Structure 1
């Protein structure tokens, strides 16, 4: 996996594990998902969503539920 596809380290170990268990291992998967559905995963909290949101924004992307 290339560095631009890797999940940001700042999301924390519990969230990283929750995403992996759900099959979300590449950053490119997250724009198709909603922040609300990700928050339902055990181990994912507001900090992980914030870090992902900032990382996606740097790539010109957003979560699915945050588009107009």
Structure 2
């Protein structure tokens, strides 16, 4: 897991790690619904992830 996920709560970080997502680039290859369904991923974490992706010119896969 990279420091790209700084500011994200520990349960959300663990959920991403368990799903094999270690970077924003990897996250952008996943759909938002898939990530939202992970145990430990809440609405605030999704908002933060959307903001982090947008800051890099990325977004969730469609």
TM-score (normalised: structure 2): 0.86
- List, as ranges, runs of 4+ consecutive aligned residues in structure 1 with deviation greater than 3 Å: none
Does residue 60 (structure 1) correspond to residue 57 (structure 2)? The answer is yes
Residue segments in structure 1 that go unaligned for 5+ positions in a row: none
Instruction: Measure how far apart 1:11 and its partner are.
Output: 1.8
Bigger Rg over Cα: 1
1:45 maps to what in 2? 42
Aligned length: 62
Q: 1: CA distance between counterparts of 2:24 and 2:7?
A: 13
